[in-house]
């Protein structure tokens, strides 16, 4: 005997899932509620809402919900390289494998994704000595806002996204 109600329930659950997905993926706090802008200010109605600006960019489940690397690689955004210049960025294409991660998968640091936005001087030599393995990085210091933590958790994706950095599995002996 067929049980048509089952389909009804499934469809209902699917619809709920879909709604939840949309609600979670597309939520940006409005300016009046972000605890940064003065909700009484007359400018509040003039400023662009984050949802209006960011919903048009490639989506991401974490942080401010934009996949910024995809946005720049696909040419959806074309940031100026300087206030007065349009000099090309200096792009570096290699990856550095950071292996001191204990039981966690190793960290693959992509120069390219960073040099699309940042100049070498933003990191070298003040925050990172430019020699593989020369920096005593660890997770505690990162959580304290040093090394990768100068940006990640502040302006780049949050530190709760372990796997985005710890992306290279260790070979089991
Ligand atoms: C977001 C920060 C950041 C930026 C921007 C950056 N680097 Fe690096 N760089 C690193 C990190 C992290 C390492 C690895 C350090 C380690 O292993 O301890 C590294 C390592 C290096 C190394 C050593 C490579 C090796 O194999 O020994 C060189 C050379 C280097 N960077 C040059 C550059 C140049 C040139 C630019 C600009 C085009 C640049 N970097 C931009 C963070 C950065
Ligand atoms: C922004 C990149 C990034 C994120 C996100 C990140 N880590 Fe790390 N983690 C590192 C780097 C870099 C090291 C040091 C690797 C090296 O120096 O060889 C490290 C080291 C570690 C280590 C080795 C022991 C120690 O204290 O340093 C552990 C364990 C660790 N991370 C766990 C985590 C966990 C769990 C998360 C998520 C909650 C996380 N990490 C998120 C970059 C990251
Ligand atoms: C000076 C700022 C800065 C520092 C320092 C920095 N990052 Fe990033 N990182 C960014 C920005 C900006 C992005 C792009 C925006 C985003 O993904 O949130 C990014 C993106 C990434 C990505 C995603 C790459 C992709 O192609 O999707 C990884 C992985 C990453 N960083 C790892 C690291 C690790 C590991 C360190 C420390 C060794 C580090 N970052 C240090 C600013 C920084």
Fold held by 58-173: Cytochrome C3 (3.90.10)
Closest ligand 2 atom to residue 140 Cα is 26
Q: Is the pLDDT of residue 155 over 80?
A: yes
Q: Is the pLDDT of residue 146 over 60?
A: yes
Pocket test for ligand 3, best of 138, 156, 157 (most atoms within 8 A of CB): 156
- What are the boundaries of each domain within the chain? 1-56, 58-173
Over residues 7-44, the pLDDT tens digits come to: 443 343 333 334 333 334 568 999 999 999 999 998 89
Q: What does the pLDDT read at residue 19?
A: 39
Over residues 117-137, the pLDDT tens digits come to: 999 999 999 999 999 999 999
Pocket test for ligand 1, best of 89, 92, 95, 150 (most atoms within 8 A of CB): 92
Over residues 48-99, the pLDDT tens digits come to: 999 999 999 999 999 999 999 999 999 999 998 888 878 889 999 999 999 9
Query: Is the bond into 125 cis (omega within 30 degrees of 0)?
Result: yes
Q: What does the pLDDT read at residue 85?
A: 77
């Amino acid at each position: 005997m067929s049980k048509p109600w089952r389909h009804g329930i499934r469809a209902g659950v699917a619809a709920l899932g879909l709604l939840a997905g949309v609600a979670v993926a597309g939520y940006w706090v409005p300016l009046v509620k972000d605890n940064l802008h003065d909700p009484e200010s007359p400018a509040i109605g003039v400023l662009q809402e984050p949802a209006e600006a960011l919903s048009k960019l490639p989506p991401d489940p974490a942080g401010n919900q934009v996949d910024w690397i995809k946005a720049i690689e696909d040419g959806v955004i074309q940031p100026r390289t300087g206030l007065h210049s349009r000099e090309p960025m200096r792009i570096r294409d290699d990856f550095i494998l950071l292996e001191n991660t204990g039981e966690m998968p190793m960290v693959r640091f992509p120069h390219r994704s960073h040099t699309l936005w940042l100049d070498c001087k933003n990191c070298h030599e003040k925050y990172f000595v430019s020699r593989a393995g020369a920096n005593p990085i660890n997770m505690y210091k990162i959580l304290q806002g040093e090394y990768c933590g100068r940006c990640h958790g502040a302006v780049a994706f949050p530190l709760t996204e372990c796997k985005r950095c710890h992306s290279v599995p260790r070979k089991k002996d």
